[in-house]
Amino acid sequence: MKCIVNRRSQFSSSHRYWLDELSEHENLRLFGKCARAPGHGHNYVLNVSLESELDPYGMVLNLTEAKDIIRREVVEPLDFSYLNETWQAFQATLPTTENVARVIWQRLLPHLPLINIQLFETPDLWADYQGNGMEAYLTTSAHFSAAHRLALPDLSDEANTEIYGKCSRPNGHGHNYRVEVTVKGEVDPRTGMLVDLGAMQGAIAQHVIEPLDHTFLNKDVPYFQSVVPTAENIVIHLCQLLRQPIDELGASLHKVKLIESPNNSAEVLAEELEEAAL
C-alpha cells in the first residue's frame, strides 16, 4: 500500500521583485514594496510531501536520507542567500513564493517521490506546487472578528438549545475568525506570479473583511438573516463572495477555509460548490 510522509525544513533568504525591462514606476506599480532595493528577506518554511509504497522495513523511504537530500539540494544553496542570484531559474522568472516552490520541486524530483511542495513565505502566505507544469496554488489569510447566534427562528429556545447547545444563547457569542483563501493559476514565466497578490488581498478585504468585521452576523449581514451562521454556512458564503472577484484577477478560486477557533474550522472547494449549485 502507498503512504504519504512529510518532511519540514527551514531556510532564510532575501529577494527582490524587479524586472530590468520595466521602468522604476512600472516596477513599483506591479510589485509595490517588494520592488524596493536592495530587497527584503523571509524565514521560509518548506514542507516536502513524499508518496510511495511501503518498503520491507515499513517506511516510504529512509527519512534520514530524505533529510540529507533536501539539505543538499535546497537548504544549503538557499539558506542566507539572495535568491535572485542563486539559481539561473530565478533570473529568468522572479523568485516569488509560487515560483520558488516550483523550482524546488524540479530540484528534488530526480531524487525523491514527490507529491507536493508547500512553501511558507510568512505564516499568512504560502504556495503549493504539485508538478503540473506552470500551475501552482497560492494561499493568503486574513482575519475578522464577529459575533453570531446559532438558532432557527421557527424553533423554541429549548429546541435550539438541544441542537446548538451554548451557541444558541440569545445574546450570541463572538470569534476571532481566520480565513484562508487559496487560488489556482499559471505562474507567469517572467514575473513569477500566478496572481497580483496585492489585488487578491484587496479583493478579500473588500468582499469579506470589510462587510463582516465587527458585526453581529445574524443582524448585520442580510445573508444570515435567513441562514444560520454556522462555520460551514459562513465559509460557503465567503466562497460565493470571492469567486467572481478572483476570476476577474485572472486566477481561479480553489478553496476557502474558515478557522473559527483553534479547535474548529470548516473549508469548501470552490469547484465542488459550483457543481452543487448547477
Q: What is the pLDDT of residues 224-276, one digit of tens each?
A: 999 999 999 999 999 999 999 999 999 999 999 999 999 999 999 999 887 77
Q: Give Cα 144 to chain centroid, integer Å.
A: 17
Please report the pLDDT score of residue 56 as a whole number. Answer: 85
Asked if residue 61 and residue 105 are part of one domain, the reply reads yes
Is it true that the peptide bond before 77 is cis, omega within 30 degrees of 0?
Answer: no
Query: Which of 40, 162, 214, 274 is the catalytic position?
Result: 214
Asked if residue 150 and residue 231 are part of one domain, the reply reads yes
Query: Which of 73, 98, 121, 260 is the catalytic position?
Result: 260
Asked if residue 213 and residue 121 are part of one domain, the reply reads no
- pLDDT tens digits for range 41-63: 999 999 999 998 888 888 888 88
Question: Range of 103's domain?
Answer: 1-131
Q: What is the DSSP string of 82-97?
A: EHHHHSTHHHHS---H
Structural domains counted in the chain: 2
Asked if residue 114 and residue 12 are part of one domain, the reply reads yes
Choose the final residue of a domain: 106, 131, 156: 131
CA 250 – CA 184 distance, rounded (Å): 10
Asked if residue 242 and residue 118 are part of one domain, the reply reads no
Asked if residue 100 and residue 238 are part of one domain, the reply reads no
34: annotated active-site residue? no
Confidence of residue 1 (pLDDT cuts 50, 70, 90): confident
65: annotated active-site residue? no
Q: Give Cα 57 to chain centroid, integer Å.
A: 35
Asked if residue 99 and residue 224 are part of one domain, the reply reads no
Asked if residue 268 and residue 150 are part of one domain, the reply reads yes
CA 43 – CA 79 distance, rounded (Å): 9
Choose the final residue of a domain: 131, 159, 193: 131
Query: Which of 167, 186, 232, 267 is the catalytic position?
Result: 167
Asked if residue 158 and residue 42 are part of one domain, the reply reads no
Asked if residue 273 and residue 189 are part of one domain, the reply reads yes
CB-CB contact of 233 with 164 (8 Å): no
Q: Give alpha helix (H) positions in the chain.
A: 24-31, 63-70, 76-78, 83-86, 89-92, 97-108, 157-164, 197-204, 210-212, 217-220, 231-248, 270-277
CA 44 – CA 9 distance, rounded (Å): 8
239: annotated active-site residue? no
Asked if residue 157 and residue 120 are part of one domain, the reply reads no
* Residue 48: count of CB within 10 angstroms of its CB: 24
